[in-house]
A = this chain, B = another copy of it.
Amino acid sequence: MTRAETPLGPKHALVRQARELARERRAREESGLAHMEGVRLVEEALAAGVEVAYLLYTPELAERPRGAELLRTAAARGVPLHPVTPEALERAADTRTPQGVVGVFRPLSRTLDDLGPGLVLVLDGLQDPGNLGTAIRSLEAMGGGGAVVAGGVDPYNPKVVRGAMGSLFRLPVVKRPIGDALAGLRAAGRRIYLAEAGGALAPWAVDLARGAAVVVGSEAAGPSPEARALADGVVSIPMAGPTESLNAGVAASLLAYEAMRQQGAAAPPALSH
């Protein structure tokens, strides 16, 4: 399905661009492009209709059935495909196991208007890419309305892209400074809560299913002063024992679950036990 081409070497401009997009936030922000790798993730990007600028692949990928199928799908979508040497793929990759394929894609530019009616999580300065990826993945899995990423780690950091496991291609994810984000959400009629220890409201005491946004603060500093000033209330996950806090990815997942539970439990029960 592709012409026999000489594989590109490690110094080719596309290989260097992919490498730079994996490593440098500024390169992503200036170009509006981002990096992904691995068969599954590229499959999910194509299935979600993401604009893929190009794929770099090793000839060995094309010899595996799933790899060949991936390349066929991409070719049918008009994605430029470039064979590269194994050394070049290693240069272009973020991990040691890119599974023969690295891709460059153009994330959709989303606004607050793109958020759905379900729970919105405002991820306020998260530093850990694993936590941000988990939050985005769980929020999509639980039918949330979308995420606002306010400062902290870039949602298109390759570790976030991998951690979100494709959810980043589907869930509306909006980058906005915290003050702007909260003003916009408030103007759209959302109630705004902080997630933090010691608050007055258990998650099940608050309607999270519709019209709510919850600010999950950074691992080290908690929610920012702007968020504190604007919030309608503080939601706390009750803790037993001396555990001080949950990691931000888990806290976000529990809130997303609670919103889904409220919606599901309010519907007529489909099953008895």
Question: Could you tell me which A residues sit within 8 Å of B by CB distance?
Answer: 44, 47, 134, 137-138, 140-143, 165-167, 170-171, 200-206, 233, 237-243, 246-247, 249-250, 253-254, 257-258, 260-261, 264-265, 269, 271-273
Contacts and interface: CB of A to CB of B under 8 A. Distances in A.
B200 A273 contact: yes
Nearest to A271: B200
Copies in the complex: 2
Contacts of A247: 134, 137
B271 A241 contact: no
B240 A260 contact: yes
A204 B264 contact: yes
21 contacts: A134-B247, A134-B250, A137-B243, A140-B241, A140-B243, A141-B237, A141-B240, A141-B246, A143-B240, A143-B241, A166-B243, A200-B271, A202-B264, A203-B261, A204-B264, A237-B257, A238-B260, A240-B260, A253-B253, A257-B257, A258-B261
B243 A205 contact: no
A216 to B, nearest CB: 14
Contact of A261 (B141, B204, B250): B204
B204 A265 contact: yes
Contact of A205 (B143, B238, B273): B273
Contacts of A243: 137, 140-141, 165-167
